[in-house]
Structure 1
Amino acid sequence: MVLPLTLEKMKEAHTLLTEYFYELRPVVHGYANRTLHINLDNNEISEKPVTMEMKKLFTGGRGFGLKLLWDAVTPETKWDDPENELIIANGPICGTTGYAGSGKATVVTLSPLTLNVVDSNVGGYFAPFLKFSGFDAVEIQGKAVEDVVIFIDGDTGKITIETAPLESVDSHLLGKHLTRMYADDEKGQRGVSVMSAGDAAEHIRFAIINATWYDVRRKEVRLKQAGRGGTGRVFRDKKIKGIVVRYSKTGGDSNGPFDIDLIRKAGVRFNREMSELDDKQNQMKKVGTANIVEIMDHFDLLPTHNFRYGNHRDTHKIDSSVWKEKFTQGMPDGCWLGCTMSCTHGVDDFPLKTGPYANDKVLVDGPEYENAAGLGANIGNFDPQKVLELNFYCDTYGVDSISFANAVAFAMEAYEEGIITKEDTGGLELNFGNGAAAIELLHQMGRGEGFGVVVGQGVMHMKKIFAEEYGGDPAFLHDIGMEIKGMEISEYGTKESLAQQGGFGLATKGPQHDEAWLIFMDQVQNLLPSFEDKAEALHYFPMWRTWFSLHGLCKLPWNDVTPEDNGDTTEPAKVEEHVENYTWVHEGVTGIRVSANDLLLQSERVYNFQKVFSIRMGRVGRRHDYPPYRAMGPVTVVEYESRAELYDSQLVDILGLKPENLSIEEKMAKLREYRESQYELLLDAVYKRRGWDMNSIPTVAKLKELGMDLPEVVEVVEEARKA
């Protein structure tokens, strides 16, 4: 009889590789004023000061991460080289308990998925605890020889690196084990946060990192995800099993605010709106981001069958009413202290039916909109049980649910088109709607075997495999492969929104909705009629949304509940009262009085730096800013026919053609020529507004204007323009 492992036995099996003691110091006006460097090649631990110039130019969060990574790598560095760093940074407002959504970290690294620099944000308690423990960022370089746990103890001022041979890798177990192992007692679990990735992170390119927090009401360890770009693969490639941070003394002044009353002033105003308006606006407290499933379906925007279509007759089976009933209601669901938005919902005691944890009852964190849309409609799966099963295993195995959904949908379309067969898939029938097959692919990713590993390479890499090994037409595969710059597109159909096509195509790290979400402004509300209007929106909103990642903030409190009179303001989409709140919070934390334009300038500096960084790493030129044609228009006859009335009317009204005189193929060709030409004009307008040249390279004049004309940055730009 094999006895189960206990926490004591797991801990006893740890071997201490190194320990480092540091001085505990209070956070001052939002900054710990130092960063932590760990080299796993030799287990060296050191500290770096945060300079005033670093704060001025890079602000914090994503900016600090990008700067630290820039200094660590060369243009030749690959994602799996030891010198690639995994950087986790917080930001000056991060850790504030007086304003909602202030608990985010940003993870920065070179991506195995996009093969370039990537950033991904994550909630939970890790970011605030890291700062309160003494560090504005941690950068991890090198590779351990065997699995290790890094423990940052902000209670005692000690950091250790320990081998960890026995703990399970999967995040729902590891998060629980390490939380209990490093907490003094049950109450102390609230002061511990763990970062981890699961079994699949060792085999696929779009692996995630999970960050935990302890839910004191459920008495459960819960997970939030740094989901985009393959950060979890880097995590496991470095043989990190877990990063644990402990800080048990969090209070309202832990972030060292300059004027806590100013923060409270903003918080009271926002909290009143949540109390009075949320239930009749988006019901974030009851259903979270899943509230928009049926809205997307209504406006023909819900990605269905690999983005072929925008709605489906069975959407009601996975819409917000379904999740509202399954979520535990009446329980605070904030993923950081003081967040009254409370949108992080979960399904308690969910009975798993498949995989290594079959018959277990687990807590499923979600689904959020992206999971419901991707794991549901986009693969044709309208079974909520299977959506939740996929949701859970994506999280615990360490799999990005957006990339997984798009990669599976791409494989399903290739299967239905005859490009791949049952022989290629190992016997799986990858038809749209086969949720069981999707679940099996996910388990294969966890085991590191079968066709699931091929799908786990992501759409960009699958396009090459399907063309070279299975004889697929490269042009067709490119048209239907829903990725840009190597990253799978967020779950929104964009065929009728030119601005949203640009929002995805122009995003530096890849097409993630946290940079630019303009689809309602453009398509539904028709607020962006001209190219100049679209270009202005594609300047303002990416800059504004970048700002959240500099400061350690969640974007949802900005616009997922709005003031009652917001519709009467000059530009409702900007939610100007909430922008004013952020100027108060910024001043209240840092002591620096700012305008809305000052906040945008912080972002514009870092945004352009990240663009130059991507150029430095080899992504040069306009050619990288195009979406696949399916994001712009119909690739196949069935797609055209599904919206034939709309497309025919556009041929008449816009191009002056007579559709009755044309075959469907001719109609499609005419429509494609027009839409692609419109996208070219959009790129021209956006480059001009951003101060870039027509090859998508920031000008030296723009860098000087921003104060980002550092010699090493200017050198990259000048070399790129010569090429």
Structure 2
Amino acid sequence: MAQINLKEIKCVPYQPVEVHQGYTDHSLHINVSNNKIKICDIEEKIKQKFIGGKGYDLWLMWHAVSGTTRWDDPENAICIASGPLGGVPGYPGGGKSIVTTISPLTGAPIDSNVGGYFGPYKKFAGFDVIQLEGRAEQDTVILIDGIENTIKLFHAESIPGDAYELSSALTHHFDEKKPGNVSVVTAGPGAENTYFGCLNFSWWDAGRKRVRYKQAGRGGIGTVFANKKIKAVVARYGTISMKNNQPADPEALKTVTRAYAKEITTLDPKQNRMALVGTTHLVPIMNDHDCLPVHNFKFGSHPEGKVIGEETYEHLFDKGFDGCWKGCAVACSHGVKDFSPLTGPYKAQKVFVDGPEYETVAGCGSNLGIFDAHTIIEINFYCDAYGLDTISVGTSIAFVMECFESGQITLDHTGGMDLSFGNRFNALELVHQMAQGKGFGTIVGKGVRRMKEIFVRDFGADPDFLQDIGMESKGLEFSEYMTKESLAQQGGYGLALKGPQHDEAWLIFLDMVHNFMPTFENKAEALHWFPMLRTWFGLCGLCKLPWNDIVPEDNKETAEPAKVIKHVAWYADFFSAVTGRKVGPDDLITMSEAVYNFQRIFNLKMGYGTREHDTVPYRAMGPVTNEEYESRAERYDTQLKETYGMDITAMDTQAKVAALRSKREEQYELLKDAVYTRRGWNSNGIPTVATVKRLGIDFPEVLKVLEANGVV
């Protein structure tokens, strides 16, 4: 066990507030610049309008920052909340935290939904949401102790560097006898040296007697955490039961919890087997439907795709319960036991690896041309240990590899590393360099948007080509789905508030495979309700997977199978049972609309949030190169002839690429128009005054931002 030396610098006792119907109605504010600790009441009107979770985070952040605040300014806040439904044991996916900050990658609010026990422990200790701000002079550890009812700040005088060692050491340090009472949030050295650092949220795996981890990955939240010199935030709490949330209707809560858990344990083995293989079940599905990113999203499938899918990981994952919250029936947080890395500081040691999940397999595997499960697991392990987002790591390295193969960068630029697709050891070397802030990795760690600028300015690369193949939007790297043949998913990425992350709108299957949304209006409607439901999970402290990754057996027979309406009704019952606020399925959409539109206006406040920022690189829409077109020539030729009525007889491949591009870019702009109209936004993508009034978010400061952008 790694040794630590913490010097207590402040201790504030507090009188804990019991949770009532899912809420404590209190927030905790810690400024690490001056070590001030403040506990505040949450107003009833804010509770009613912003619900909890992501809503509370955004409200606190709005008042913490100005329109000119940068990610590394001390006033930039990191806010962590769960929600009124967070912490119900046994309810599938009921242990989530939602983290927000101003992103180093995008300059706008970023949010990440993450498992582990921290969110519930923090709430039961007395706080619906915590806000961290300032910048400490030296490494700081924060303890929220819900057993002894104290908030403590420590200077870390001796502490492990990586997230794995640190989380384990702090868990045992703060409760050696009952490590299950402790959850740790920490980053790692990679977060200090890149723009896409992640946060690891821990829980104690009693069966394996070890600390386990989930990641708040997207947008560089860990980078902000490290910049503030916060080494860890620790929550400590004791026994958990359904009584902790003091639900309004305990019997109704038991009924809906049992029904949902029973359905999942019955149907998951027949459907995606997530309790056995997690999200790796998606790999062969995506590969079969030409949606698995290969070679920087150039292609959508590969003959070797099956060797990095569920059949492989089913044998590699350690057997046992793998829920990242108490009693979650989905239990999809699998890991690999006694894994021996081939490189880096853990070389030849036996370690436990949490993951990989689909995004890591696709991003750090197929998208890099790496079809070796061992390498993917090793990249996964080091990204977690270093505090690096595997999605941004994978998409950034994929961009570098295509730039290398196309001659945009050379060995002179990479420090002599051959970064061709499939070069697995140099991909690992880049991960180590990023974490250490050394070599070519320092450039890769800045993310795709900044790499495009550097490659053009310093290396003479072609700016138009880099713009087409650099898979980022709003500054955030794409998550790992091919969208060329799904206009709805192109919109799901380009119109997402924080950037191209699938958790806001995952429409690719509903659009491409099931053809549930053939018209612009259908797509626009889906791009309204789908993000609203996903937002609602973030307001309440819930996981998104149980909603539509496991579906009722009669779901296809319902009027709107895409919505999985039986589950939506259960979520409404769940909310009503805990909070006493009676809602139906349609109310979940309305509740989310207020927060969703508020976040769009928050983007506007920070200088973003208009039509020009809702773009995607052309590769997300169609083939950039002749090679891409010719790999799917029959498909594209048919579309040009039958969909667009073009005579292509005399066209060479380059002319066909240009013709298809013109049509697809036009379609994307039309989709924007349809979505803006459905959402109640103007043609520039800004919510109208009528919309904010309808939603009850017409606060003076909101109207002021709209007015400054010509909306009155």
TM-score, L = length of structure 2? 0.99
Match of 2:530 in 1: 541
1:567 to 537, 556, 563: 556
Do residues 669 (structure 1) and 658 (structure 2) align? yes
1:203-222 deviation per Cα after TM superposition (whole angstroms, max 9, x unaligned): 10011000000000001101
2:430 to 435, 441, 446: 441
Query: Could you tell me how far apart the structure 2 residues matched to 1:624 and 1:551 are?
Result: 28
**One-letter code of the match for 1:221?**
V
Query: Could you tell me how far apart the structure 2 residues matched to 1:710 and 1:534 are?
Result: 31
Query: Could you tell me how far apart the structure 1 residues matched to 2:346 and 2:317 are?
Result: 21
The answer (yes or no) to whether the contact 1:106–1:119 under 8 Å persists in 2 is: yes
Do residues 223 (structure 1) and 229 (structure 2) align? no
- Tell me the CA shift for residue 25 of structure 1: 2.1
Query: Could you tell me how far apart the structure 1 residues matched to 2:248 and 2:489 are?
Result: 39
Residue 710 of structure 2 aligns to a residue whose secondary structure is helix
Do residues 504 (structure 1) and 493 (structure 2) align? yes
Match of 1:347 in 2: 336
1:218-270 deviation per Cα after TM superposition (whole angstroms, max 9, x unaligned): 01101100000000000000001111110012222111211121112112221
Query: Could you tell me how far apart the structure 1 residues matched to 2:685 and 2:83 are?
Result: 29
Match of 2:63 in 1: 71
Do residues 97 (structure 1) and 89 (structure 2) align? yes
Match of 1:370 in 2: 359
Question: What are the within-5 Å matches in structure 2 for residues 198-277 of structure 1?
Answer: 198-277=188-267
Residue 451 of structure 2 aligns to a residue whose secondary structure is helix
- Tell me the CA shift for residue 722 of structure 1: 6.2
Match of 2:141 in 1: 149
Match of 2:31 in 1: 39
Question: What are the within-5 Å matches in structure 2 for residues 470-485 of structure 1?
Answer: 470-485=459-474
Query: Could you tell me how far apart the structure 1 residues matched to 2:670 and 2:450 are?
Result: 29
Match of 2:157 in 1: 165
- Tell me the CA shift for residue 654 of structure 1: 1.8
- Tell me the CA shift for residue 558 of structure 1: 0.7
1:405-454 deviation per Cα after TM superposition (whole angstroms, max 9, x unaligned): 00000000000111111111111100000111110000011211011111
Residue 278 of structure 1 aligns to a residue whose secondary structure is helix
- Tell me the CA shift for residue 564 of structure 1: 1.1
Match of 1:292 in 2: 282
1:132-163 deviation per Cα after TM superposition (whole angstroms, max 9, x unaligned): 00001110110111101001100011011101
Residue 218 of structure 1 aligns to a residue whose secondary structure is coil
Match of 2:670 in 1: 681
Match of 1:281 in 2: 271
Do residues 176 (structure 1) and 168 (structure 2) align? yes
Query: Could you tell me how far apart the structure 2 residues matched to 1:25 and 1:706 are?
Result: 31
Match of 1:60 in 2: 52
- Tell me the CA shift for residue 515 of structure 1: 0.4
The answer (yes or no) to whether the contact 2:528–2:679 under 8 Å persists in 1 is: yes
The answer (yes or no) to whether the contact 2:601–2:609 under 8 Å persists in 1 is: no
- Tell me the CA shift for residue 597 of structure 1: 1.4
Residue 527 of structure 2 aligns to a residue whose secondary structure is helix
The answer (yes or no) to whether the contact 1:208–1:231 under 8 Å persists in 2 is: yes
Q: Using a 3 Å threshold, how does the CA distance of structure 1 residues 620 and 129 change in structure 2: closer, same or farther?
A: closer
Query: Could you tell me how far apart the structure 2 residues matched to 1:622 and 1:28 are?
Result: 42
Question: What are the within-5 Å matches in structure 2 for residues 445-456 of structure 1?
Answer: 445-456=434-445
Structure 1 outlier segments of 4+, above 3 Å: none
Q: Which runs of no fewer than 5 residues in structure 2 stay unpaired?
A: none
Match of 2:311 in 1: 321
- Tell me the CA shift for residue 721 of structure 1: 2.2
Residue 595 of structure 2 aligns to a residue whose secondary structure is helix
The answer (yes or no) to whether the contact 2:185–2:200 under 8 Å persists in 1 is: yes
- Tell me the CA shift for residue 620 of structure 1: 4.2
1:465 to 424, 430, 454: 454
Do residues 139 (structure 1) and 131 (structure 2) align? yes
Residue 698 of structure 1 aligns to a residue whose secondary structure is coil
Query: Could you tell me how far apart the structure 2 residues matched to 1:223 and 1:300 are?
Result: 31
The answer (yes or no) to whether the contact 1:89–1:136 under 8 Å persists in 2 is: yes
Question: What are the within-5 Å matches in structure 2 for residues 488-637 of structure 1?
Answer: 488-637=477-626
1:601-637 deviation per Cα after TM superposition (whole angstroms, max 9, x unaligned): 1100000000000000000421111110000000011
**One-letter code of the match for 1:174?**
L
The answer (yes or no) to whether the contact 1:169–1:197 under 8 Å persists in 2 is: no
Moved more, 223-232 or 256-265: 256-265
Aligned CA RMSD, in angstroms, stands at 1.0
Query: Could you tell me how far apart the structure 2 residues matched to 1:373 and 1:604 are?
Result: 32
Residue 24 of structure 2 aligns to a residue whose secondary structure is coil
Moved more, 164-173 or 498-507: 164-173
Question: What are the within-5 Å matches in structure 2 for residues 306-455 of structure 1?
Answer: 306-329=296-319, 331-455=320-444
Residue 138 of structure 1 aligns to a residue whose secondary structure is strand
Query: Could you tell me how far apart the structure 2 residues matched to 1:144 and 1:36 are?
Result: 18
The answer (yes or no) to whether the contact 1:63–1:550 under 8 Å persists in 2 is: yes
Query: Could you tell me how far apart the structure 2 residues matched to 1:115 and 1:348 are?
Result: 38
The answer (yes or no) to whether the contact 1:289–1:343 under 8 Å persists in 2 is: yes
- Tell me the CA shift for residue 659 of structure 1: 2.3
Match of 2:183 in 1: 193
**One-letter code of the match for 1:511?**
P
- Tell me the CA shift for residue 719 of structure 1: 1.2
Query: Could you tell me how far apart the structure 2 residues matched to 1:467 and 1:260 are?
Result: 61
Percent of aligned positions with the same letter in both sequences?
51
Query: Could you tell me how far apart the structure 1 residues matched to 2:435 and 2:495 are?
Result: 33
Query: Could you tell me how far apart the structure 2 residues matched to 1:618 and 1:521 are?
Result: 33
1:325-374 deviation per Cα after TM superposition (whole angstroms, max 9, x unaligned): 10122x11110112111111111111111101111111111111001111
**One-letter code of the match for 1:343?**
C
1:38-58 deviation per Cα after TM superposition (whole angstroms, max 9, x unaligned): 011110101010111111111
- Tell me the CA shift for residue 584 of structure 1: 1.2
Residue 660 of structure 1 aligns to a residue whose secondary structure is coil
TM-score, L = length of structure 1? 0.97
Query: Could you tell me how far apart the structure 2 residues matched to 1:254 and 1:360 are?
Result: 41
1:23 to 12, 15, 21: 15
**One-letter code of the match for 1:617?**
M
**One-letter code of the match for 2:108?**
N
- Tell me the CA shift for residue 559 of structure 1: 1.1
**One-letter code of the match for 1:682?**
L
Q: Which runs of no fewer than 5 residues in structure 1 stay unpaired?
A: none
Q: When the two structures are aligned, how many residues end up with a matched partner?
A: 712
Query: Could you tell me how far apart the structure 2 residues matched to 1:327 and 1:620 are?
Result: 42
The answer (yes or no) to whether the contact 1:99–1:263 under 8 Å persists in 2 is: no
Query: Could you tell me how far apart the structure 2 residues matched to 1:258 and 1:29 are?
Result: 5
- Tell me the CA shift for residue 309 of structure 1: 0.1
Residue 322 of structure 2 aligns to a residue whose secondary structure is coil
